[in-house]
Amino acid sequence: MATVRIPLVGSFNQRGVDGTITLTASTDQRFLNCIFDLIHNPITGKSTIYVAKRPGWVQDSVVAAGSASTAFIRPQSFTAGISAFGETNSVIYFGSTNVGTITGRALHLTEMNVSSVDYVMIKSSDGTGWYYADGAKDVTAYTADGNNSTTITDIKVAGSNSTSGLYPGQLLTASANIVAGTRIVSVNSGAFTAVLDTATVDGAFNDLAITKTPIAKILDTDFITTGTQQSAFVEMDGYLFYVVDGTGRLYNSDLNSITAYTSTNFLSPNMSPDPPIAVARHKDKIIVLGQGSREVFANNANVSGSPLQRIPQYFSKIGTLDQRSVTTIEDDIYFVSAPSDGDIGVYQISELQHKRISTPQIDRIVGNVSSTSGAIYVNSFRMSGYSYVGLFLSLASDGPGSNLLLESGDALLLETGDNLLLEDTAGQTASFARLLVYNIELQLWSEWDCDEATFIDGISSGSANAILATSRVVTGGKIYRIQPSADGQVFTDDGSAYTMEIRTSKMDLGTSKRKRIKSIRLICDSDSTGSATLEWSDDDYATWSTARTIDLTSKEPKLTACGSHKGYRAYRLKHTGNAAFRAEALEIEYESEANKIPGK
């Protein structure tokens, strides 16, 4: 009688030249809805690695019922997250409070602090830039005087002179005198005045009731809004940086300003002919990613033009798909590379050096999504003591379509779409493929089938472990959370059960001769009420045996009389209950014809 232990932790082992892009693939080794945990004993030097069921998502709030999210961030200095919902023109929310509508679809959110004010910068699909200043929603009603000019005076809040919460680019409305669509150009807090982009009408007025929209638009004409792929904003040393593929330039704001731009404030990342499409910050460096290259820049404190200077020795011929395929956690950048050399991969940039973190099997899966014009959203988070990178794969394209949207919401018909972002339809929210999750410390991949988590960010304040998420494909308009301190251990997604599945590679136990399986023991944690099921396939995953139940309440969860097989066998372990599950291995006791003595 022989005994062998089969670890329940491993890597994807997917066959074929191209990966299967959906979760329905029924062959080869997989880890669905799993996370991994390594326990090391420094005294004995022994390490034990476990596979566990991932935690589930709980509804945190309903923000915009009937809409899918387009972006989400949980700023460090804010008391709530900033989210965007809506396909054509996104509505921006502070927590569950509507703080205004932008033109186009909100794509990228960036946190920034200037002159002790915290902001979330917003880049839209129509190329426009927007921002929300912390506290801007707290006051929305004002009174002011005016007289057919672009300046309003004697601004008051509740009868006292104040410009609190007024910022350039905010929309103003009133029952009279204020022209529809009027925005603030500048605010003089000392004189309690504001300059508008449109003159007031119908003569003089006093103490006119005015309402402002908290979200503000960047109005500077030197801010570039063209381009077919919109980058995010990135902050460093009091500047905002962004790239435009149509011009091939890296632009920056004026120093210590998010609203002021100068036409000469740019440089050109031109060590490679591909256009720049994404930007990220790595410690005190700005990294520009093109479709097939990477360039690095440092602050050189130039008095005019861009403050940056290129560091040419860090140039490399690896680019990215687009800005949504780039994420940063702590000091490292993770991104999905463009197929400029024929294949897609997932890379890490650490200490300005890059390395591929995806296996060939993961590359085949991700590359197949890209080849179908799917969208890949990359995010990062910390959970249960580990750092993760998540690749949310959608089969529907999130790219250009057919209409350029104006601020009014009307469509502009163009003869060509050169250097203009063409807004796509709501069809991009239709299809979820899978969420690939990479444990950075353990360097292990798994896959989740939760479509709730396109955009994931951690709660930045307090001591509670928690992450929040919104979905690009679910139209419930919700924010979700994983927060064990508040919710306990939850193993459902928004109330719906999911299945953890571990599928092993084929194993022949060292011989092609027949093996009789006497027993299979699951080495796992016991559970007061739970159970799991085990199946096996002896024909290359074509068919599976009838599932047998393993009693997790037993001190020795075990199946006996498990049949026999020649050649290879694969196993499939499932756990479906709303309960925790953690295991190490399957211990198989068997007899092999290879061990028989001839003639006996």
What is the rounded CA–CA span in Å between residue 393 and residue 373?
Answer: 11
What is the rounded CA–CA span in Å between residue 551 and residue 533?
Answer: 9
Average predicted confidence (pLDDT) for the chain: 89
| 10, 30, 107, 447, 540 from 362: Cα distances, Å | 13, 11, 26, 10, 21
**What integer pLDDT is reported at residue 253 of this predicted model?**
97
Q: Which of 366-380, 439-453, 547-561 has the lowest mean pLDDT?
A: 366-380
Q: Is the predicted pLDDT of residue 410 greater than 50, yes or no? A: no
Q: Is the predicted pLDDT of residue 424 greater than 60, yes or no? A: no
**What integer pLDDT is reported at residue 527 of this predicted model?**
86
- Give the residue with greater pLDDT, 237 vs 19: 237
Q: Residue 432 — pLDDT band, cuts 50, 70, 90?
A: confident
Contact predicate 513/593, CB 8 Å: yes
For the chain, the residue count is 600
- Give the residue with greater pLDDT, 241 vs 370: 241
| pTM of the shown model | 0.89
| Per-residue pLDDT reduced to its tens digit, 62-75 | 999 999 999 999 99
Tell the burial category of 172 from Cβ atoms under 10 Å away from its Cβ (0-12, 13-18, 19+).
buried
- Give the residue with greater pLDDT, 427 vs 200: 200
Which one-letter amino acid corresponds to residue 477?
Answer: G
- % of the chain beyond a pLDDT of 90: 78
Q: Residue 396 — pLDDT band, cuts 50, 70, 90?
A: low
**What integer pLDDT is reported at residue 407 of this predicted model?**
31
Q: Rg for the chain (alpha carbons), in Å?
A: 28
Q: Is the predicted pLDDT of residue 499 greater than 80, yes or no? A: yes
Q: Is the predicted pLDDT of residue 409 greater than 90, yes or no? A: no
| Per-residue pLDDT reduced to its tens digit, 190-238 | 999 999 999 999 999 999 999 999 999 999 999 999 999 999 999 999 9
| Per-residue pLDDT reduced to its tens digit, 250-298 | 999 999 999 999 999 999 999 999 999 999 999 999 999 999 999 999 9
- Residue 21, SS3? coil
Q: Is the predicted pLDDT of residue 468 greater than 50, yes or no? A: yes
Determine the longest span between alpha carbons in the chain, in angstroms.
114
Q: Residue 502 — pLDDT band, cuts 50, 70, 90?
A: very high
**What integer pLDDT is reported at residue 58 of this predicted model?**
97
Which tokens in the block code for residue 133? 């200043």
Q: Is the predicted pLDDT of residue 24 greater than 70, yes or no? A: no
Q: Is the predicted pLDDT of residue 462 greater than 70, yes or no? A: no
Q: Residue 18 — pLDDT band, cuts 50, 70, 90?
A: low
Q: Is the predicted pLDDT of residue 501 greater than 80, yes or no? A: yes
Task: Please state the rounded mean pLDDT for residues 479-505.
Answer: 94
Q: Show Cβ contacts of residue 129 under 8 Å, excluding neighbours closer than 6 positions.
A: 121, 122, 123, 217, 218, 223, 225, 233, 242
Q: Which of 187-201, 311-325, 337-351 has the lowest mean pLDDT?
A: 337-351
**What integer pLDDT is reported at residue 412 of this predicted model?**
32
**What integer pLDDT is reported at residue 414 of this predicted model?**
31
- Give the residue with greater pLDDT, 187 vs 29: 187
Task: Of 126, 187, 58, give the one whose Cα is nearest residue 493.
Answer: 58
**What integer pLDDT is reported at residue 365 of this predicted model?**
84
Q: Residue 361 — pLDDT band, cuts 50, 70, 90?
A: confident
What is the rounded CA–CA span in Å between residue 406 and residue 424?
Answer: 14
**What integer pLDDT is reported at residue 92 of this predicted model?**
98
Q: Is the predicted pLDDT of residue 312 greater than 60, yes or no? A: yes
Q: Residue 166 — pLDDT band, cuts 50, 70, 90?
A: very high
Q: Residue 600, CB half-sphere, CA atoms under 13 Å: how many?
A: 6
Q: Is the predicted pLDDT of residue 242 greater than 60, yes or no? A: yes
DSSP 346-363: EEEEETTEEEE-S-HHHH
| Per-residue pLDDT reduced to its tens digit, 100-151 | 999 999 999 999 999 889 999 999 999 999 999 999 999 999 999 999 999 9
What is the rounded CA–CA span in Å between residue 227 and residue 417?
Answer: 10
What is the rounded CA–CA span in Å between residue 394 and residue 383?
Answer: 23
Q: Is the predicted pLDDT of residue 427 greater than 50, yes or no? A: no
What is the rounded CA–CA span in Å between residue 363 and residue 187?
Answer: 51
Q: Is the predicted pLDDT of residue 595 greater than 60, yes or no? A: yes
**What integer pLDDT is reported at residue 16 of this predicted model?**
63
Task: Please state the rounded mean pLDDT for residues 342-354.
Answer: 92
Q: Is the predicted pLDDT of residue 428 greater than 50, yes or no? A: no
